[in-house]
């Protein structure tokens, strides 16, 4: 199965430069000062590079939520009991969670996937792709085998391809798993060669003792397992989670299928960084949503050269920032398609020549 996964990684192509240039030309022709709509312009140009078309739509939207339990919770690093993973996974399907309410508000559907919840259960609306009943406690042994990690990653790839086949035009990745800020911090520490002190925050709100223990456990586990920073599969297998592996795979699938994919918060960003390390071209297909309050979030974003479009002090996870980003993306796509050109507005744009030649007014796609 790893050979199949690597094939997807190797076949990823970069953005369509000609479509991006055409989108830039279109933006320059619109009746406004150069780059006066800022990131809305950048988004439309990036979207063109993904799809190969200047005019696009983001009306058909989805958040894919991967749920899994984490063995490291045995060490008291989480503020909530593990039973919350199952409860919230079911609540996604009932429209009761943060992401479910926000998704409904923005006409976004959910694809909820059980990657490794402790309990066996049956719930309409939850797709059963369980790899195991939670990961192992990575403070004592590797979280999962390499084979399990690749299986989880391929589940993510397939979720992205399923979205494409069902007509989805943009999707985001979310998660549910008590303890997954610990796994994400551990993965980030390895990938960036940083101590846990630099990557660990308080997650759902742990107390001082648990916070100190969380950092100590992560540093000790990394020293014990010695994951290879150059091999994200090895890193996730040893100190990550099934949700992170699946999310990483979803980013790979999005890039392979040339679909725009929205990055949510901290855990989503760490998974995105893993995909980026597998193939840096993945970043061209990623659209960040909001800046997470978790300290490791910007470390991951900066490494990929990406910047969030919003800062709303959010730290819920679940993919809750994705539907908000979808609406901004949709707005950007509407502007490039529907705004009048100088010619259509009967305006002579000669007065803008000096501004156009000033790089300070030029944006980045």
Q: Which residues are tagged catalytic? A: 318
Return the beta strands (E) in 88-191 as ranges. Answer: 108-116, 126-128, 170-176
| CB proximity list for 72: less than 8 A, separation 6 or greater | 135, 137, 138, 139, 143, 179, 182, 183, 217
Radius of gyration of the chain (CA): 21
Show the tokens assigned to 338: 């529907």
For 259, the 3-state DSSP assignment is coil
For 262, the 3-state DSSP assignment is strand
DSSP character string of 282-300: GGGGEEE-B--SSTHHHHH
Distance separating alpha carbons of residues 73 and 15, to the nearest angstrom: 40
| CB proximity list for 305: less than 8 A, separation 6 or greater | 283
Pairing between strand 126-128 and 170-176? unpaired
Read off the DSSP letter of residue 319. T
Task: Please give the helix or strand (H or E) that residue 206 lies within, else none.
Answer: none
Q: How far apart are the first and last CA of the chain?
A: 36
Tokens 């156009």 found at: 356
CB 248 within 8 A of CB 286: no
Distance separating alpha carbons of residues 146 and 262, to the nearest angstrom: 27
Query: Phi-psi category of 244—alpha, beta or left, where left has phi over 0 and alpha has psi -120 to 50?
Result: alpha
């Amino acid at each position: 199965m790893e050979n199949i996964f690597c094939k997807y990684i190797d076949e990823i192509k970069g953005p369509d430069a000609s479509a991006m240039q055409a989108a830039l030309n279109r933006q320059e022709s619109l009746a406004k000062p150069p780059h006066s709509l800022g990131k809305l312009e950048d988004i439309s140009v990036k979207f063109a590079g993904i799809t190969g078309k200047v005019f696009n739509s983001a009306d058909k939207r989805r958040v894919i939520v991967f749920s899994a339990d984490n063995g490291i919770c045995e060490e008291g690093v989480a503020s909530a009991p593990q039973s919350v993973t199952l409860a919230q996974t079911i609540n996604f399907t009932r429209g009761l969670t943060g992401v479910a309410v926000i998704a409904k508000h923005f006409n976004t559907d959910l694809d909820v996937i059980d990657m490794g919840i402790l309990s066996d259960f049956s719930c309409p609306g939850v797709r059963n792709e369980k790899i195991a009943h939670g990961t192992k406690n990575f403070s004592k042994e590797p979280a999962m085998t390499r084979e399990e990690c690749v299986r989880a990653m391929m589940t993510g790839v397939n979720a992205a391809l399923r979205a494409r086949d069902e007509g989805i035009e943009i999707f985001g990745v979310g998660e549910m798993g008590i303890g997954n800020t610990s796994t994400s911090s551990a993965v980030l520490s390895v990938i960036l060669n940083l101590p846990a002190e630099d990557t660990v925050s308080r997650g759902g709100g742990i107390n001082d003792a648990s916070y100190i223990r969380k950092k100590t456990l992560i540093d000790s586990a990394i020293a014990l397992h010695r994951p290879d920073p150059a091999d994200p599969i090895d890193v996730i297998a040893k100190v990550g989670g099934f949700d992170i592996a699946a999310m990483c795979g979803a980013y790979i699938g999005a890039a392979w299928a040339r679909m725009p994919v929205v990055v949510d918060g901290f855990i989503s960003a760490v998974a995105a960084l893993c995909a980026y390390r597998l193939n840096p071209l993945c970043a061209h297909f990623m659209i960040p949503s909001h800046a997470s309050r978790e300290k490791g979030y910007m470390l991951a974003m900066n490494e990929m050269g990406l910047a969030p479009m919003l800062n709303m002090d959010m730290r819920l996870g679940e993919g809750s920032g994705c539907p908000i980003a979808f609406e901004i993306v949709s707005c950007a796509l509407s502007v490039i398609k529907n705004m009048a050109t100088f010619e259509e507005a009967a305006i002579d744009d000669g007065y803008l020549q000096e501004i156009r030649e000033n790089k300070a007014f030029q944006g980045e796609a």
